[in-house]
Amino acid sequence: MAKGKASILIVDDEPAMRLLITAVLKDEGHDVTAAATGEEALQLVAKRHFHLIITDLKMPGVSGLRVLEAVRRDDPETAVMLLTAFGSVEGAVEAMRKGAAHYLLKPLANPDELRLAVRRVLEERRLADEAATLRQATEAGFPFGEIIAGDPKMQAGLDLARSVAATDATVLLTGETGTGKELVARAIHRWSARADQVFVAVNCAALAESLLESELFGHEKGAFTGAVAQRRGRFELAHGGTLFLDEVGEMSPALQAKLLRVLQERTLERVGGMKTVTVDVRVIAATNRDLQALVTAKKFRDDLYYRLSVFPIVLPPLRERPTDILPLADHLMREVGRRLGKPIKGFTSEATALLQRYGWPGNIRELQNVVERAAILCREDRIGPTHLNLAPPAAPVTSGSKTLKDLEREAILTTLDAHGGNRRRAAEQLGIGLRTLYARLKEYGIFTEAESKD
């Protein structure tokens, strides 16, 4: 789990010890629950997920060892710490072999001993969570860590991002595909008080509904075919940090309802489970769709829309920030050249003119793909127009009275035409998943449901 507030269960049949530990850990800012018996503890654990359980080893009825065994079996992500009298150290060592995270001798020498032990155990859990996040979280879509934005429109968006970063307000980033929404989300996280915690990203359009539910909320062992072990979802992995929900407009109505509940109550249940899990997560959502139009069409919940758009930020397309095209291209060129080991110095004047005149329907993601391909093909020290492989220069698309949906449709059809109708290559250039492209084409009435299975 992450640093900061943790949910902790204290189990001890001695009232004085329960009161002491509860007072010390509440003073540390944790959410503390106390149980007087092992039976009571197991009842609580069956209903709620705790980050840490501190239990006495020797108790009448259900012992601390039995509590440990039950927790390791049913909720293995929960850390367990044992309290034991000096004469029962051997029992504590046995408990360590069975998966206890730590043990302390009773009576406690001083409150600092408890504080330090709890901090250490929670830090170990946090590091384990970060390792899991690195394995499971979606990586950033761009190869550079800093935002290049000299254009006033983009600067205005970043100014808003800096302003909201200091709060825990939910942010909704809108803009066309490839405009850098995830990059801005990561920047908000870096500028926030949660900067030293995890950033977890989920692409809501990349997974089927059943898989997305498990990905977001986790699942219990046996919840469905293939669920051979308990698995925490992205909300739990992001505890204490930031969760980025990309393409949130693609979420089904059923999942929208479950997401709304988590945002309102800050609790969830894993798929196939009944246990309540408390999460402390800052949510940043993003979409390339007009959510207000979806709300009007009854395809997106209005209450979820208002919950997500507490602080909306619109990111401009690349064609509307022309002064950023060459700095972005130059940065990408140097990054790719370094990775490929090629001493590319820049672009020829003809290539520069082509980069500036092109309409960039796929925005920064398309620019990234174009520059990377050009760097691979380039045999000289400068990238020329033939390396860029761009369609004949298109006049910049102006918004006029067109909606975001109209512009998206034009970008997709233009890119499809440039690739001779090859949908996979068009999706790659646009920086979207093939499934998302199929959904858009179906929406435009260009192909049938049967074709989407080809």
**Domain-wise residue ranges, the chain:** 7-126, 152-314, 398-454
Q: What is the pLDDT of residue 98?
A: 81
Structure tokens at 327: 């700095």
Average pLDDT over residues 142-168: 83
Task: Quickly state the pLDDT bin for 306 (edges 50, 70, 90).
Answer: very high
Of 75, 133, 136, the C-alpha closest to 273 is 75
Can you tell me the distance from the alpha carbon of 92 to that of 102, in angstroms, rounded to the nearest whole number? 9
Coil vs helix vs strand at 282: strand
Within 8 A by CB and 6+ apart from 300, the residues are 249, 256, 291, 294
Can you tell me the distance from the alpha carbon of 50 to that of 25, in angstroms, rounded to the nearest whole number? 14
Query: pLDDT, tens digit, for every residue of 374-386?
Result: 999 998 889 999 9
Can you tell me the distance from the alpha carbon of 147 to that of 149, in angstroms, rounded to the nearest whole number? 6
Average pLDDT over residues 108-135: 77
Average pLDDT over residues 201-222: 88
Structure tokens at 75: 């909720």
Q: What is the pLDDT of residue 255?
A: 94
Q: Does domain 398-454 have CATH number 3.40.50.620?
A: no
Structure tokens at 420: 């001779």
Can you tell me the distance from the alpha carbon of 114 to that of 131, in angstroms, rounded to the nearest whole number? 26
Task: Quickly state the pLDDT bin for 437 (edges 50, 70, 90).
Answer: confident
- Name the H helices within 111-241: 111-136, 152-165, 181-191, 209-217, 234-237
pLDDT at residue 152 tops 60? yes
Structure tokens at 69: 């065994």
Can you tell me the distance from the alpha carbon of 365 to that of 177, in angstroms, rounded to the nearest whole number? 8
Coil vs helix vs strand at 98: coil
pLDDT at residue 444 tops 70? no
Can you tell me the distance from the alpha carbon of 381 to that of 396, in angstroms, rounded to the nearest whole number? 29
Coil vs helix vs strand at 2: coil
Q: Are strands 382-383 and 346-347 parallel, antiparallel or unpaired?
A: parallel
pLDDT at residue 39 tops 90? yes
pLDDT at residue 79 tops 60? yes
Helix (H) or strand (E) holding 284: strand 282-287
pLDDT at residue 260 tops 50? yes
Whether residue 107 is preceded by a cis peptide bond, meaning omega within 30 degrees of 0, is yes
Q: What is the pLDDT of residue 413?
A: 78
- Give the class (CATH, top level) of 7-126: alpha beta
Average pLDDT over residues 14-29: 93
Query: pLDDT, tens digit, for every residue of 175-199?
Result: 999 899 999 999 999 999 999 888 9
Of the two residues 433 and 114, the one the predictor is more confident about is 114
Task: Quickly state the pLDDT bin for 448 (edges 50, 70, 90).
Answer: very low
One-letter amino acid of 245: L
Quote the pTM value.
0.66
Structure tokens at 426: 């068009």
Q: What is the pLDDT of residue 408?
A: 75
One-letter amino acid of 107: P
> What topology does CATH give the domain 152-314?
Rossmann fold (3.40.50)
**How many Cβ atoms from other residues are within 10 Å of residue 244's Cβ?**
29
Structure tokens at 98: 């069975």
Structure tokens at 79: 């850390």
Share of the chain above pLDDT 90, in %: 52
Task: Quickly state the pLDDT bin for 452 (edges 50, 70, 90).
Answer: very low
Can you tell me the distance from the alpha carbon of 438 to that of 431, in angstroms, rounded to the nearest whole number? 14
Whether residue 327 is preceded by a cis peptide bond, meaning omega within 30 degrees of 0, is no
The number of residues in the chain equals 454
Contact in structure between 158 and 149 (CB atoms under 8 Å) = yes
Q: What is the pLDDT of residue 230?
A: 80
- Three-state SS letters, 343-387: CCCEECHHHHHHHHHCCCCCHHHHHHHHHHHHHHHCCCCEECHHH
Least confident residue range of 71-75, 286-290, 450-454: 450-454
Q: What is the pLDDT of residue 370?
A: 93
Q: What is the pLDDT of residue 236?
A: 92
Distances in Å between the Cα of 275 and the Cα atoms of 182, 257, 258, 268, 354 are: 32, 18, 15, 8, 58
Query: Nearest 5°: CA angle at 294, between 289 and 297?
Result: 150
Task: Quickly state the pLDDT bin for 338 (edges 50, 70, 90).
Answer: confident
398-454 matches 152-314 in CATH topology: no
Q: What is the pLDDT of residue 139?
A: 38
Q: What is the pLDDT of residue 150?
A: 86
